[in-house]
Amino acid sequence: MTQEQTSSQKVDTGPLPPLPPLPEPPPPRRRAPQWNVIALGAVALVVTGLAIWWLTRPPDPMSDPRPVQVVQNFVAALEARDVSRMLSYIEPTDIKRQISPELRSYMEYITDLQFDDETYTLLDNNGSIAHVRLTGTVRYTVDYGTVYSGERPFDTVFELVLLEGAWYLRSLQLPATEQQ
């Protein structure tokens, strides 16, 4: 080897200094106890189940105000002696068409009809058939050539039926009449 070759070699600096100590590892994370995760999952399932039940349960038919409203509207049409409006609340069957002329002729004799102190009570409703009780006092004037008028208590039960989302009067129990 020549001297030139040795001068290109690096000078030995000695041993490497020791490496700095490694940082201490962080303390191990405490794992959440397994029962907390299970309890949280169970609570989430219960809340989800209650929400689904609440949102998909069928409505309570007894909270439906429409049967009572139909009877109230029918009584208002009766007081106004508006036969066409009265017939609009009756179940659409052949009987409705058959009673229309008779009802129109009977209403011509009634000159005054007024319900006072009326109370409407929903007796039952199963979602397709409902019964509404109407109580109160009726004042009337009828002219058959001779005028009759009077006032009497009124207590009747209307049966309604739900057809295609609308309630209709199906039948009613007329109050008992006095023999004259």
Q: Please state the pTM of the whole predicted model.
A: 0.67
Average pLDDT, the chain: 86
The helix/strand/coil state of 176 is coil
Q: Which residues of 31-61 are buried (b: 16+ CB within 10 A; e: fewer)?
A: eeeeeeeeeeeeeeeeeeeeeeeeeeeeeeb
Q: What is the 3-state secondary structure (H, E, C) of 130-167?
A: EEEEEEEEEEEEEECCCEEEEEEEEEEEEEEEEECCEE
Task: Identify whether 95 is part of a domain.
Answer: yes
Which residue, 137, 73, 84, 146, is CA-closest to 109? Answer: 146
Q: Is 117 left (phi over 0), alpha (psi -120 to 50) or beta?
A: left
Task: Identify whether 68 is part of a domain.
Answer: yes
Q: β-strand 129-143 against 147-163: which pairing, if any?
A: antiparallel
Domain span holding position 162: 63-172
d(CA 127, CA 58): 10
Q: Average of pLDDT values for 101-107? A: 90
Share of the chain above pLDDT 70, in %: 90
Overall number of domains in the chain: 1
Q: What is the CATH number of the domain that holds 87?
A: 3.10.450.100
Task: Identify whether 24 is part of a domain.
Answer: no
Mind listing the pLDDT tens digit for each residue in 115-152? Answer: 999 999 999 999 899 999 999 999 999 998 899 999 99
Mind listing the pLDDT tens digit for each residue in 158-167? Answer: 999 999 999 9
Task: Identify whether 26 is part of a domain.
Answer: no
pLDDT at 120: 95
Backbone angles phi, psi at 12, to 5 degrees: -75, 125
pLDDT at 16: 81
Q: β-strand 129-143 against 110-125: which pairing, if any?
A: antiparallel
Task: Identify whether 5 is part of a domain.
Answer: no
